[in-house]
Structure 1
């Protein structure tokens, strides 16, 4: 589990493409401290298993499904990526619950400065925006952010200077793909409600039995 608080920006050293998957080699420093082979590191918000650790790099295998669901397949040597180690049990929970399992990608529509902040507007499919609420949480390329506005086809966040300086968000341009992970709670609630309705437990049933 992650928090969406990016620890450092790493750089793609090289990409080895397989028949359908790929292997990424990432240059980094901070996220390698205390990391062992097999530990999880979020790369642009995607939970990957770190292997082949050196003093300043790690490798990670990326399966075809992950390439289809995220923007990792578009990475090439030299690209900057957001990195975060899995949250330790005794760590601070500074962001929100981020699993590192990407729901899909969105596309940057515009970046607009307002005083010391930058508004970032992202186009997203209705299948994703249905899980977004104003003042709720969203992870964009692994960065925990608060949704300021949302419609059926897009949403907006406001990025403070620190977040802009410590992540890749403000290097994005209109049309760039970004990884999106919606708040996991909404997805579980939807699944549970759908199961209950199939079993005949509806709001009307609950009202009839004194639950409202």
Structure 2
């Protein structure tokens, strides 16, 4: 379990395909604190550490993950939002995040507002996911509050700290991002759909 509070940025140093799997080598300032078999969220995708070499470590993405997330578009040099799983005695500074991406979304607009930024996103509403006004959303692993919420679209505001310390400062219009919708909303929607069907 994660909280959507990004700890650091990692950098993709190598990409190796093996069958349908892809091994990503990541350089990170917290590599020395990781261990083999540890779960770490990368742009909101929970991946297992399988190898550690100095300040670099390796994680493996299976084809299912590559198909349903933006990991397939990573290149050597890509910056990645990183968060380790939450300790049992930790604080929920963000919200409940599983590291299971529901679908991808697209950046549709970026607007600077005197030191902060407004980002607009669209997503395919036919996949059954929804946002609610002032509800939680995870974008590339970052816990945020959405507004201007409507079918298949929403907006978030990004403060300078978040802009600089996550990969939001690299996003451009048209970029694909990983979305994990609020787990409480997902369960409520599933329950109500079950009763109505």
Band the TM-score falls in, shorter-chain normalisation? over 0.9
- State the alpha-carbon separation in 1 of the partners of residues 5 and 126 from structure 2: 25
| TM-score calculated relative to the size of structure 1 | 0.88
Q: Give the structure 2 partner of residue 28 of structure 1.
A: 28
| Structure 1 pair 90–33 and aligned structure 2 pair: CA distance change class (3 A) | farther
- State the alpha-carbon separation in 1 of the partners of residues 128 and 78 from structure 2: 28
Q: Give the structure 1 partner of residue 41 of structure 2.
A: 42
User: Which structure is higher in strand share?
Assistant: 2
**Greater CA drift, 121-130 or 170-179:** 121-130
- State the alpha-carbon separation in 2 of the partners of residues 185 and 33 from structure 1: 34
Preserved CA contact (<8 Å) 1:129 1:152: no
Preserved CA contact (<8 Å) 1:45 1:82: yes
Matched, 1:86 2:88: no
- State the alpha-carbon separation in 2 of the partners of residues 97 and 54 from structure 1: 31
Q: Give the structure 2 partner of residue 203 of structure 1.
A: none
Q: Give the structure 1 partner of residue 144 of structure 2.
A: 145
Equivalent position SS for 2:2: coil
| TM-score calculated relative to the size of structure 2 | 0.95
Preserved CA contact (<8 Å) 2:40 2:46: yes
Kindly tell me the number of residue pairs found equivalent between the two proteins: 197
Structure 1 unmatched ranges of 5 or more: 199-212
Preserved CA contact (<8 Å) 2:32 2:55: no
Provide Cα deviations, 1:95-115, integer angstroms capped at 9, x if missing partner. Answer: 011100001111111110112
Provide Cα deviations, 1:126-165, integer angstroms capped at 9, x if missing partner. Answer: 1367420010010100011100211213111000000001
Post-superposition offset of 1:42: 0.4
Which of these two proteins has the greater Rg computed from alpha carbons?
A: 1
- State the alpha-carbon separation in 2 of the partners of residues 113 and 17 from structure 1: 38
Equivalent position SS for 1:51: strand
What RMSD over aligned residues (CA atoms) do the two structures have, in Å?
1.5
- State the alpha-carbon separation in 1 of the partners of residues 7 and 75 from structure 2: 21
| Structure 1 pair 61–130 and aligned structure 2 pair: CA distance change class (3 A) | closer
Structure 2 unmatched ranges of 5 or more: none
- State the alpha-carbon separation in 1 of the partners of residues 66 and 3 from structure 2: 22
- State the alpha-carbon separation in 1 of the partners of residues 46 and 127 from structure 2: 19
- State the alpha-carbon separation in 1 of the partners of residues 20 and 137 from structure 2: 29
